[in-house]
Amino acid sequence: MLGLNKKDTSLLIIVALLTLLAPFILNPFPEGSAMAQFNAGYPDLMQRFVIFGIFAIGFNILFGLTGYLSFGHAAFLGVGSYSAVWMFKLLSYNVIPAIALSVVVAGLFSLLIGFVSLRRSGIYFSILTLAFAQMSFALAYSVLSNPKFNLTNGETGLQVYADDPQILQGANSPDLPHLFGLPMRATYTMDVGAWSFDFNAGYYLCAVIMMVVFYLAIRIFRSPFGMMLRAVKSNQQRMNYTGLNSKPYTLAAFVISGMYAGLAGGLMAAMDPLAGAERMQWTASGEVVLMTILGGTGTLIGPVLGAGFIKYFENIFSKINDNVLHSWFAFLPDGLEDAVVFLIHPFIGKGWHLTLGILFMLVVIYLPGGLVEGGQRLLKRFKRKKKDTDDAPSGKTEPAE
**pLDDT tens figures, 57-85:** 999 999 999 999 999 999 999 999 999 99
Nearest CA to 257 among 16, 127, 69?
69
- 400 — pLDDT class (breaks 50, 70, 90): very low
d(CA 293, CA 210): 19
pLDDT in tens, 227-276: 999 999 988 888 888 888 889 999 999 999 999 999 999 999 999 999 98
Higher pLDDT, 334 or 177: 177
- Do 15 and 212 form a contact (C-beta atoms < 8 A)? no
Question: How many contiguous H segments (helices) and E segments (strands) does the chain have?
Answer: 15, 6
CA atoms lying within 13 Å on the CB side of residue 281: 10
Q: Which of 26-30, 31-35, 87-91 has the lowest mean pLDDT?
A: 31-35
Within a domain: 190:
yes
Domain count, the chain: 1
Length of the chain: 401
Q: What is the pLDDT of residue 1?
A: 67
d(CA 376, CA 263): 30
- Output DSSP code: residue 94: B
Nearest CA to 73 among 264, 219, 273, 227?
264
- Do 217 and 311 form a contact (C-beta atoms < 8 A)? no
Choose from 92-106, 179-193, 239-253, 343-357 the range with maximum mean pLDDT: 92-106
User: CB burial class (10 A; 0-12, 13-18, 19+) of residue 387?
Assistant: exposed
Indicate if the pLDDT at residue 194 is higher than 90: no
Q: What is the pLDDT of residue 391?
A: 67
Within a domain: 195:
yes
Within a domain: 233:
yes
- Do 137 and 285 form a contact (C-beta atoms < 8 A)? no
- 203 — pLDDT class (breaks 50, 70, 90): very high
Residue 125's identity, in one-letter code, is F
- Do 225 and 252 form a contact (C-beta atoms < 8 A)? yes
d(CA 352, CA 256): 33
Give me the residues paired with residue 182 across strands: 179
> Strands 274-275 and 195-200: what pairing?
unpaired
Task: Output the average pLDDT for the chain.
Answer: 89
d(CA 78, CA 258): 11
First to last CA, the chain: 49
Helix (H, G, I), strand (E, B) or coil at 333: coil
Within a domain: 372:
no
d(CA 255, CA 1): 28
d(CA 189, CA 2): 34
8 φ, ψ (degrees, to nearest 5):
-70, -35
Within a domain: 152:
yes
Report the CATH number that the domain containing residue 262 is assigned in CATH: 1.10.3470
Report in angstroms the alpha-carbon separations of 56 from 258, 292, 399.
11, 6, 61
- Do 22 and 46 form a contact (C-beta atoms < 8 A)? yes
Within a domain: 130:
yes
d(CA 83, CA 208): 21
Q: Which domain holds residue 52?
A: 6-29+40-280
Within a domain: 247:
yes
Query: DSSP letters along 340-389, please?
Result: HHHHHGGGSGGGHHHHHHHHHHHHHHH-TTHHHHHHHHHHHHHHHHHHHH
Residue 312: CB atoms within 10 A of its CB come to 17
Helix or strand holding residue 189 (H, E):
strand 187-192
Nearest CA to 153 among 67, 278, 251, 64?
278
Within a domain: 323:
no
- 392 — pLDDT class (breaks 50, 70, 90): low
Q: What is the pLDDT of residue 283?
A: 87
